[in-house]
């Protein structure tokens, strides 16, 4: 029974180097160890099967979001997945405990090189500055946000470096939950949303 | 049947057909030649197993009646009305033109005028049985030439009445016959009116009542009874039985029982037509042929030639697509079974002598035997020449194609598929069998090949063995399934993307193992449903999501029903249950959305904290 779920999202996987390599590597590990769901392949019409996605989440202990960073965030379908699958009363809010105690790991790539994420450079912020939405999403669902695996400068990375990166990725997927950093990671802070906190439309 | 038992008779006919027809088809000659040869073989001039062909011919003529009933079923009154010009215009041109020329030729050759007139009228008719069977076998019914052939044959059936009425007048030159002729005309008119009115008002309720009895064989019996009764009624007043059956068919073309009637009558029609062709084969009097072979040859080729000239002129003037000329000319140039009736009645009335009558009957029968052979010959030598000439573009596909995609059927569906492929740099090999359609499309620069995709050799030529995808966009369900079966069997590596006309078609394609099947109207209907929801105030994106989820639900539901597709009761129960499920699902979601007091842009409330 696989307890690692990889959610891969790249709108043009065929023209991607990094994410194609990672998706292929994750898929090659086999369903028994890692369940890989390529969101753009599953939902070309953006019609996400919420029940199927929630079922896959329920089976997993580690949830991996593997995607390129687009506009300092996730690709559109990944965001839609978050909007629809992490539903109120299921993933968070009253009775929303389905994901509690699971781990969320981000495996992202950026086009810009690491030194572009500097106050002096064109991206103006350290990359960490873009992570709080991820971290808090995990936290609200009672998940631990494990420090992400990043690959910067994806367009210019050499074949050897890419192979090394994929190797790290798969070995991590296979060795979960025996990761050294997990020992020091605290359980997620409880973020209880009171029932009356739901905003009112009218 | 000299043995006097129907058992021996059936044994002989069935055995002859079962042996001869597959053999003929194997030789690429079509089933009709098989039947005709079987008839010659068992007839008085072959093995002499049957010595009285006339009796069986009369019986088997009923196959022609059934066939016209089926043709009528396919032709709604509006479409028949639209055909009135080809029927009365071109039909009259063919019949009168051919008869006049034949009469003139015979008169010039020194034949006495009553004989010349009878012969001209009898020979101007064409065989509906062979004509329509060939059209059906080659799937040409829907083409322009197919419709033209049908129109002309319908007029011939109408003209049969006055022709037969003319014979007694010729015989005795009795002047006082004219007074009773008026009375005679009133009766047929009354019968036709009765059939039209009865068909409109009584038939449907009667069929409903019978169908409600839920006894399939009684419905079959009722179908047959309907045709027999109409035919008998027409016969009683001296009208063409086939014409009556045709009328009854047209009147039922719009009824909900059309398909059931069709499937019930079809096997009877097939067998009786077969029997009819056998009888025609048996009826060829080889004694007459051997006695005066030259005279027979002159008559056969003479009348074929004269009629062909008239038809050729018609084909030019209509105009018909040149590639359809051969079928049009050959099918209508042959003599017809109605000629038998004319000559026998004329002989009975003493206008022509018995030997002359058998000679003319033999000439007609030989022309019917020649027709399928001529068609084969034309397909081999004439059609390629036509194709090389003026309209070189629409030759039947002959050079091997190598495109990765084959599109079979270039109607509305196939065109959209092909255009999208073309826009993305893929030029598919397109097959269609409607020459006129192809000619029109060629003008827009499409590379469309003329060819019937239900033929294995043409599929192979189109590149089915090396192509990756076959787009099955044929609108005819049976043909679509035929191509699908062929492709699955012979080209297992060819992926099939299929258009389904309806759910039954969908299931049949799925049962053949084809996974990429689209119901042709599903998506456009859902788009309209979205528009309706939008007009009623749903947000456009919400309407889109609802439509797409509805689609997912119905597709899944169909897939679940697939194993039970043949179990009607179970199938209906599941369909009902599925509809209920969807309603419940949507109602539940509406409720939870209301409870949450928010309907964001998605159906499941998104997180925003």
Query: What is the arithmetic mean of pLDDT over A87-94?
Result: 92
Query: What is the arithmetic mean of pLDDT over A84-113?
Result: 94
In chain A, residues with a C-beta closer than 8 Å to the C-beta of B603 are 84
Count contacts between A and B (CB, < 8 Å). 43
**Closest A-chain CA to B548:** A47
Q: B470 to chain A nearest CA, in Å?
A: 22
B599 pLDDT above the threshold of 70? no
pLDDT in tens, B300-337: 999 999 999 999 999 888 878 777 888 889 989 998 87
In chain B, residues with a C-beta closer than 8 Å to the C-beta of A50 are 604
A48 pLDDT above the threshold of 90? yes
What region, left, alpha or beta, does residue B214 occupy, with left being phi > 0 and alpha being psi -120 to 50 degrees?
A: left
Query: What is the arithmetic mean of pLDDT over B60-64?
Result: 77
- Are the Cβ atoms of B598 and A199 closer than 8 angstroms? yes
B391 pLDDT above the threshold of 50? no
In chain B, residues with a C-beta closer than 8 Å to the C-beta of A84 are 602-604, 606
- Are the Cβ atoms of B545 and A47 closer than 8 angstroms? yes
* CA dist., res. B408 & res. B399, Å (int): 17
- Are the Cβ atoms of B599 and A199 closer than 8 angstroms? no
CA distances for B518 relative to B498, B502, B506, B554, angstroms: 6, 9, 8, 12
Better-scored residue on pLDDT, A70 or B108: A70
* Average pLDDT score over chain B: 81
* CA dist., res. B139 & res. B479, Å (int): 9
Q: B505 to chain A nearest CA, in Å?
A: 25
- Are the Cβ atoms of B598 and A87 closer than 8 angstroms? no
A36 pLDDT above the threshold of 50? yes
pLDDT in tens, B150-196: 888 888 877 776 777 777 777 654 444 444 555 666 777 788 888 88
CA contacts within 13 A on the Cβ side of B495: 8
A2 pLDDT above the threshold of 90? no
In chain B, residues with a C-beta closer than 8 Å to the C-beta of A49 are 552
Residue B452 has a CB neighbour count (10 Å cut-off) of: 20
Are the beta carbons of B166 and B120 closer than 8 angstroms?
Answer: no
- Are the Cβ atoms of B608 and A199 closer than 8 angstroms? yes
Q: Could you tell me how far CA B198 lies from the centroid of its own chain?
A: 26
pLDDT at B511: 92
Better-scored residue on pLDDT, B472 or B25: B472
Q: Binning pLDDT at 50, 70 and 90, where does residue A150 land? A: very high
pLDDT at B607: 44
Q: Select the residue of B548, B552, B602 nearest A83 (Cβ to Cβ).
A: B602
Q: Select the residue of B552, B603, B605 nearest A88 (Cβ to Cβ).
A: B605
Are the beta carbons of A108 and A148 closer than 8 angstroms?
Answer: yes
- Are the Cβ atoms of A86 and B607 closer than 8 angstroms? yes
- Are the Cβ atoms of A84 and B597 closer than 8 angstroms? no
Most confident option among B155-159, B391-395, B420-424: B420-424
Which tokens is B209 given? 């009542």
A102 pLDDT above the threshold of 80? yes
CB burial class (10 A; 0-12, 13-18, 19+) of residue A184?
A: exposed
B596 pLDDT above the threshold of 70? no
Q: What is the pTM of this model?
A: 0.54
B222 pLDDT above the threshold of 90? no
- Are the Cβ atoms of B549 and A47 closer than 8 angstroms? yes
pLDDT in tens, B234-280: 888 877 787 788 888 888 887 777 777 888 888 888 888 888 888 87
Q: Select the residue of A47, A84, A91 nearest B552 (Cβ to Cβ).
A: A47
* CA dist., res. B258 & res. B462, Å (int): 36
Query: What is the arithmetic mean of pLDDT over B134-151?
Result: 80
pLDDT at B17: 84
Those residues of chain A whose CB sits closer than 8 Å to some CB in chain B are: 45, 47, 49-50, 80, 82-84, 86-88, 91-92, 137, 140, 193, 197-202
> What is A10-21 written as a DSSP string?
-TTGGG-SHHHH
CA distances for B513 relative to B414, B565, B571, angstroms: 21, 14, 20
In chain A, residues with a C-beta closer than 8 Å to the C-beta of B607 are 82-83, 86-88, 91-92, 137, 140
Query: The tokens 């009824």 sit on which residue?
Result: B255
Interior angle at CA B149, CA B147 and CA B151, nearest 5: 65
């Amino acid at each position: 029974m696989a307890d690692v779920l990889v959610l891969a999202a790249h709108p043009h996987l065929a023209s991607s180097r990094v994410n194609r390599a990672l998706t292929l590597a994750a898929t090659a590990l086999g369903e028994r160890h890692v369940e890989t769901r390529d969101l753009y392949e599953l939902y070309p019409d953006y019609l996400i099967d919420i029940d199927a996605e929630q079922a896959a989440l329920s089976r997993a202990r580690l949830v991996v979001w593997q995607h390129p960073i687009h506009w300092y965030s996730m690709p559109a379908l990944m965001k839609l997945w978050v909007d629809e699958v992490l539903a109120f009363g299921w993933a968070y809010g009253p009775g929303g405990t389905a994901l509690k105690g699971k781990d969320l790991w981000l495996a992202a790539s950026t086009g810009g090189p690491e030194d572009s994420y500097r106050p002096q450079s064109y991206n103006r912020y350290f990359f960490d500055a873009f992570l709080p939405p991820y971290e808090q999403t995990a936290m609200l669902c009672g998940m631990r946000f494990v420090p992400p695996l990043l690959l910067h400068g994806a367009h210019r990375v050499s074949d050897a470096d890419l192979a090394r990166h994929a190797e790290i990725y798969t070995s991590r997927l296979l060795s979960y939950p025996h990761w050294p950093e997990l020992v020091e990671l605290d359980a997620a802070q409880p973020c209880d949303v009171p029932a009356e906190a739901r905003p009112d439309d009218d | 049947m000299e043995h006097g038992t129907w058992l021996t008779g059936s044994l002989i006919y069935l055995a002859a057909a079962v042996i001869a027809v597959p053999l003929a088809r194997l030789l690429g000659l079509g089933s009709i030649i098989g039947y005709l040869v079987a008839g010659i073989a068992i007839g008085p001039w072959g093995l002499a197993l049957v010595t009285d062909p006339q009796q069986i011919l009369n019986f088997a003529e009923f196959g022609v009646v059934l066939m016209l009933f089926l043709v009528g079923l396919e032709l709604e009154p509006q479409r028949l009305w639209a055909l009135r010009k080809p029927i009365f215009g071109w039909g009259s041109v063919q019949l009168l033109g051919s008869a006049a020329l034949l009469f003139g030729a015979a008169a010039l050759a020194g034949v006495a005028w009553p004989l010349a007139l009878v012969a001209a009228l009898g020979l101007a008719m064409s065989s509906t049985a062979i004509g329509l069977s060939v059209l059906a076998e080659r799937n040409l019914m829907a083409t322009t030439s197919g419709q033209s052939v049908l129109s002309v044959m319908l007029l011939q059936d109408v003209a049969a009445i006055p022709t037969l009425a003319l014979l007694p007048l010729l015989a005795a030159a009795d002047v006082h016959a004219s007074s009773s002729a008026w009375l005679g005309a009133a009766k047929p008119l009354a019968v036709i009116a009765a059939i039209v009115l009865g068909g409109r008002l009584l038939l449907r309720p009667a069929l409903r009542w019978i169908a409600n009895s839920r006894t399939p064989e009684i419905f079959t019996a009722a179908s047959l009874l309907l045709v027999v009764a109409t035919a008998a009624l027409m016969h009683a007043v001296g009208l063409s039985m086939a014409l009556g059956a045709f009328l009854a068919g047209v009147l039922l073309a719009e009824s909900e029982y059309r398909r059931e009637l069709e499937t019930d009558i079809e096997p009877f029609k097939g067998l009786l037509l077969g029997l009819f062709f056998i009888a025609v084969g048996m009826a060829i009097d080889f004694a007459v042929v051997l006695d005066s072979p030259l005279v027979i040859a002159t008559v056969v080729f003479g009348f074929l030639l004269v009629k062909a000239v008239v038809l050729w002129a018609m084909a030019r003037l209509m105009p018909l697509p040149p590639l359809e000329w051969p079928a049009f000319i050959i099918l209508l140039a042959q003599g017809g079974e109605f000629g038998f009736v004319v000559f026998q009645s004329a002989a009975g009335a003493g206008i022509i002598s018995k030997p002359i009558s058998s000679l003319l009957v033999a000439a007609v029968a030989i022309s019917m035997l020649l027709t399928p052979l001529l068609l084969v010959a034309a397909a081999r030598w004439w059609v390629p020449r036509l194709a090389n000439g003026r309209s070189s573009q629409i030759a039947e596909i002959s050079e091997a194609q190598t495109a990765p995609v084959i599109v079979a059927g270039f109607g509305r569906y196939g065109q959209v598929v092909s255009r999208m492929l073309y826009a993305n740099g893929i030029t598919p090999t397109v097959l269609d069998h409607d020459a006129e359609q192809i000619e029109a499309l060629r003008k827009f620069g499409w590379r469309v090949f003329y060819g019937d995709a239900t033929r294995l050799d043409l599929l192979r030529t189109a590149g089915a063995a090396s192509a990756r995808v076959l787009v099955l966009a044929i609108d005819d369900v049976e043909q679509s399934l035929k191509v699908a079966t062929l492709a699955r069997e012979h080209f297992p590596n060819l992926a099939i993307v299929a258009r389904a006309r309806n759910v039954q078609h969908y299931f049949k394609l799925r049962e053949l193992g084809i996974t990429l099947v689209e119901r042709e109207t599903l998506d456009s209907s859902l788009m309209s449903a979205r528009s309706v929801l939008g007009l009623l105030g749903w947000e456009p994106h919400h309407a889109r999501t609802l439509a797409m989820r509805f689609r997912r639900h119905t597709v899944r539901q169909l897939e679940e029903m697939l194993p039970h597709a043949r179990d009607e009761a179970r199938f209906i129960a599941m369909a009902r249950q599925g509809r209920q499920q969807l309603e419940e699902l949507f109602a539940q979601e509406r409720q939870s959305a209301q409870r949450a007091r928010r309907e964001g842009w998605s159906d499941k409330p998104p997180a925003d904290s």
